[in-house]
Structures are given as C-alpha cells and as structure tokens.
Amino acid sequence: MIGAGTLANAGAIVAGSVVGLAAGRGIKEKYQETVLYGLCLCVMMLGLQMAFQGKHIMITISSLVLGSIIGEAMDIEAKLERFGTWLAKKVQSRRKTTSAGDEGAFVQGFMYASLIYCVGAMAIVGSIQDGLGGDPTTLYTKAALDGLSGIIYAANMGVGVLFSALSVLVYQGALTALAGLLGPYMSPEVVQEIAASGGLMIFGIGINMTKLLKIRIGNMLPGLVVAGVAAVIFL
C-alpha cells in the first residue's frame, strides 16, 4: 500500500517516544545527558556524511544562501515555534497552569525532532520509492532508526518529540503524493545535491543540540527546494 512506509515511520516515533517518556522518569539525568551528547555527535556525523555526497559545491552554497534569505523573509522558524507553542498549550490544557519552561521544552523537542526526522536523504528517497513503486523498504528502515532514537530524544526533551510524528506524516506524505509528478526530475544526482544541503542542516542541528550556538535551521529549509531546482536546471 502506497503510504505504508510513512505511517510506519510515524507510528515508530510515537511508540519510541512513549517508551522514552516512561523510561525517562527512571533514568538519571547524567545518563540522559551523556547519551544525548553521544547522539549529537552521531547527528553531526550523519550530517557530514550526507554533505559529502554532493559533487557540486556551488549548488550547495547557493542553496543555503538563497534558502536562508527566503526562510528569513518567511520567518519559518518563528512559525514552527508558534505552532509548537500552540500544540504545547493543547497538550497541557488539562493542567491548571502551563509554565513558560514547559512550553519551551515542548517547542524545542518538537522542532529538533521534526527537523532531524524530516531533513534527510532517507526521507526523500524513501518517500519517492514509496510513491513511485509502492516500495516502503527504505522508510521501514528509517522507522526503525527513528523509533530507537525517539526513546532517547523523548526521555531528554519531552513530549514534543512524540508530536514530531505529525511533521513526518505531513512532510513524507506530501513527498509520496507528489512523487508521481516529481519523479521524472528526481535523478540520483538531484537527490545527492538535496542530501548535501540537508546534511549541512543536520550538522547544524547537532550543533544546536549541544547548545554551543543557536542556528535558525528552520529558516534554511527552503534551501532544499533551491538545491533541487538548481540541480534539475544545471546538471
């Protein structure tokens, strides 16, 4: 069934997050912190591996520059934060009070997990495979990885990680639905250039997770579209 891969992926994130939220109460903070930093390093390594797939540095540079300009003009990150805050209030509406700290933790978990799960070669390639040929194998593999990482992310960053499954449903579902139209233009070279730009964004997410810097990765997301269009035109 077309779309089964995305459904499985979202379900794995929910399941992993539930386990993480339950286990998080019994995991000491120092263990959570060390494991999270270990995952940060893995995220940065994954980002670099993806970035090195690109063979045309000018496409990568132009995609990040133009994409960042477009993203800042659209203020995508602020919109993601507002959406995350709205979700936080809905989820926590049964409580008598909702602290700013609760909302901030929810938004952080939602945004980081959404970007990590959505910006990647596996999400792009897997969704296209599922949409074109009904082959969800790649997305099933991604589901296993996301479910395992969801345990750690949810234990450390809270319930916002669980709701990142919505981002996966929308993002991968849209790619799957559009795969039939975009497929003829999505050659391996195009996917490589998109993955290269996405890889640098994932590396930036890893930096953000270490709290060394605050890079507005959400505002760079249009760079994925710019990279794809540039690759189609010039390659």
For residue range 188-201, list pLDDT tens digits in order.
888 889 888 988 98
For residue range 216-225, list pLDDT tens digits in order.
888 998 998 8
Range of the domain at 183: 4-234
- CB-CB contact of 195 with 121 (8 Å): yes
Question: If we measure between CA atoms, which residue out of 112, 175, 121, 204 comes closest to residue 149?
Answer: 112
For residue range 94-131, list pLDDT tens digits in order.
544 445 556 677 888 888 888 888 876 678 878 887 88
**Given this model, what pLDDT does residue 88 score?**
66
Burial code (b: 16+ CB inside 10 Å, e: under 16) for 38-56 equals: ebbeebbebbeebbebbeb
For residue range 154-198, list pLDDT tens digits in order.
988 888 999 999 999 999 999 899 887 777 767 888 888 988 898
pTM, entire model: 0.74
Question: If we measure between CA atoms, which residue out of 64, 81, 77 comes closest to residue 224?
Answer: 64
Per the structure block, which two tokens stand in for 70? 């477009």
Q: CA end-to-end span of the chain, whole Å?
A: 33
Share of the chain above pLDDT 70, in %: 90
| Section 46-63 average pLDDT | 90
Residue 4: pLDDT band with limits 50, 70, 90: very high
Q: How many domains does the chain have?
A: 1
